[in-house]
Amino acid sequence: MEQLCVLRYDQQSMKRANTFDVIPQSDEDEELLRRLLDASAALWNEINYERREHYADPNRDVWDISEYRGRYGGTLGASTVQQIERKNREAWRSFFSLKKKDEANGMPGYWGNSEDGRELRTYIRNTSYSVKWGEYSRLEILVGKDLKDEYGLGHRERLRLEVRGDPNWKEYDKQGRLELFYDEQTQRFRAFQPVTISEDHFRLAQPLASEEAALDIGANNLVACTTTTGKQYLYEGRDLFERFRETTREIARLQSLLEEGRYSSHRIRRLYDRRTKRRDHAQDALSRDLIERLYDEGVSTVYVGALTDVLDTHWSVETNAKTHNFWAFRAFVNRLACTAEEYGMSVEVRSEAWTSQECPNCGSTEDTTRHRDTLTCPCGFEGHADLTASVTFLRRQTTVTRSMARPVCLKWDDHDWSESPYSVPNEEHTNPQVASVGR
Ligand SMILES: [Zn+2]
């Protein structure tokens, strides 16, 4: 079977990441932090400019750049100067490898500019920061000597920041390079901390029973899920998808305004970035919410239908492409598999063609009609189309004998997936019968 969780890199350990808010404890601390992130962006831009110049000049070497520690070390500290340079080198390496495959999307970009403002962001070496987890969690980061002097920090002192949020991984064996940035959308400082956890440290959970579940993945309903215990979950994605489309339209509009020969701009990249972050956040939260619910149900195997097959059957090419784009199907399955792994559950992708238009009552696929979210059949069946599809899919994998409980409907509010009353999918029908499974 294909290894779905690619984060796992060997038998004994797993790679995971914490994300959390970081809060300066005074105006002075906030100013210091902003200067640190701004100087990091200035450094990135200088390095990147130099590399672009070298790239354009056949007599020069992209990898051979000036020494920046002298000018930036006092503000950032030597190790952070080195991390920014390394991060930029990685960006150029990936540019070259994409270029080889003819997939490059332009040279590495700048982190804003001094006129419109730089993107506040930095990378801190694993030995140059520490996090203390507890009731009042704290992050301490290295700053350069000049900033310490200016803000009255002791020579061995680090900038201390409050950590807010409840990261999943507080016990780990190794921490990686910390990414620290200002999130303009939420107007907060955020940290991204990769960690390595060994299995000695983290015992994987075992499934409670050997129940199964099947998922239908789409754009309007992100996930429709049915379990062999008779539970159904519907994750509503309409608002999220609508915002994705809005951002996509805005990107297209800005692209049409670009001067000839230019392919992107700072604003466009920022929109792309925001769009991706929003999707990733919702997907991460969905994976965890769903897997925890399935674990409690005793599920040990989760079947996911390959999206292409689903879409070929009844979706338009346009919707198909949009969903793929929006949902980043492979990345989502990977996320799901990694989360499932923590609970000892497995995720299996089934590429067999399965129609979303099959009637669960009489098995007809020709006579059914789908209108918005409702599937109807001349035999009298009427039910939620995506939930019905997940039932049909589940039946193809296993025997389902239990009847279905009322579906749990979940909505995204930018932070959490929370339960909302199950609403009638189509107002023209006043009494929809939810797909029942017992034959
Ligand atoms: Zn029927």
- Is 0.75 surpassed by the pTM of this model? no
Q: How far is the centre of ligand 1, averaged over its atoms, from the C-alpha of 41 (Å)? A: 61
Q: How far is the centre of ligand 1, averaged over its atoms, from the C-alpha of 433 (Å)? A: 13
Q: How far is the centre of ligand 1, averaged over its atoms, from the C-alpha of 314 (Å)? A: 17
Kindly report, residue by residue over 1-22, the tens digit of the pLDDT: 455 665 544 445 678 889 899 9
Q: How far is the centre of ligand 1, averaged over its atoms, from the C-alpha of 365 (Å)? A: 8
Average pLDDT over residues 152-181: 90
Kindly report, residue by residue over 125-146, the tens digit of the pLDDT: 999 999 998 888 999 999 999 9
Written in H, E and C, the secondary structure of the chain is: CCCCCCCCCCCCEEEEEEEEEEECCCHHHHHHHHHHHHHHHHHHHHHHHHHHHHHHCCCCCCCCCCCCHHHHHHHHCHHHHHHHHHHHHHHHHHHHHHHHCCCCCCCCCCCEECCCEECCEEEECCCCEEEECCCCCEEEECCCHHHHHHHCCCCCCCEEEEEECCCCCCCCCEECCEEEEEECCCCEEEEEEEEEEECCCCCCCCCCCCEEEEEEECCCEEEEEEECCCCEEEEECHHHHHHHHHHHHHHHHHHHCCCCCCCCCHHHHHHHHHHHHHHHHHHHHHHHHHHHHHHHCCEEEEEEECHHHHHHHHCCHHHHHHHHHHHCHHHHHHHHHHHHHHCCCEEEEECCCCCCCCCCCCCCCCCCEEECCEEECCCCCEEEHHHHHHHHHHHHHCCCCCCCCCCEEEEECCCCEEEECCCCCCCCCCCCCCCCCCC
Average pLDDT over residues 164-169: 82
Kindly report, residue by residue over 262-293, the tens digit of the pLDDT: 777 888 888 888 888 888 889 989 999 999 99
Q: How far is the centre of ligand 1, averaged over its atoms, from the C-alpha of 238 (Å)? A: 28
Q: Output the pLDDT for position 392.
A: 86
- Radius of gyration for the alpha carbons in the chain, expressed in angstroms and rounded: 25
The whole-angstrom distance between residue 144's C-alpha and the CA centroid of its chain comes to: 33
Q: How far is the centre of ligand 1, averaged over its atoms, from the C-alpha of 113 (Å)? A: 61
- In contact, 349 and 333? CB cutoff 8 Å: yes
Greater pLDDT, 88 or 117: 88
Q: How far is the centre of ligand 1, averaged over its atoms, from the C-alpha of 221 (Å)? A: 23
Q: How far is the centre of ligand 1, averaged over its atoms, from the C-alpha of 423 (Å)? A: 23
Q: How far is the centre of ligand 1, averaged over its atoms, from the C-alpha of 357 (Å)? A: 10
Q: 176 pLDDT exceeds 90? A: yes
User: 13: which strand partners?
Assistant: 198
Q: What is the domain partition of the chain in residue ranges?
A: 14-198, 211-420
Kindly report, residue by residue over 336-346, the tens digit of the pLDDT: 998 998 888 99
User: Percent of the chain scored above 70 by pLDDT?
Assistant: 86
Average pLDDT over residues 254-260: 86
Q: How far is the centre of ligand 1, averaged over its atoms, from the C-alpha of 382 (Å)? A: 8
Give CA–CA dist 215/303, Å, rounded: 6
Q: How far is the centre of ligand 1, averaged over its atoms, from the C-alpha of 384 (Å)? A: 14
Q: How far is the centre of ligand 1, averaged over its atoms, from the C-alpha of 366 (Å)? A: 10
pLDDT-derived band at 352, boundaries 50, 70, 90 = low
Average pLDDT over residues 84-109: 89
Q: How far is the centre of ligand 1, averaged over its atoms, from the C-alpha of 350 (Å)? A: 25
Q: How far is the centre of ligand 1, averaged over its atoms, from the C-alpha of 317 (Å)? A: 27
Q: Output the pLDDT for position 37.
A: 98
- In contact, 424 and 382? CB cutoff 8 Å: no
Kindly report, residue by residue over 385-434, the tens digit of the pLDDT: 889 888 888 888 888 777 888 899 999 988 889 998 766 554 343 334 44
Q: Output the pLDDT for position 406.
A: 87
Give CA–CA dist 84/137, Å, rounded: 26
Kindly report, residue by residue over 189-221, the tens digit of the pLDDT: 999 999 988 766 666 678 899 999 999 888 788
* Mean of per-residue pLDDT scores for the chain: 85
Q: Output the pLDDT for position 316.
A: 56
Q: Output the pLDDT for position 5.
A: 62
Average pLDDT over residues 355-360: 77
Q: Output the pLDDT for position 118.
A: 93
Q: 307 pLDDT exceeds 80? A: no
Give CA–CA dist 352/396, Å, rounded: 10
Which residues, other chains included, contact 419 with Cβ-Cβ below 8 Å and sequence gap of 6+? 408, 409, 410
Q: How far is the centre of ligand 1, averaged over its atoms, from the C-alpha of 356 (Å)? A: 13
- Candidates 394, 395, 390, 393; CA nearest to 407 is 390
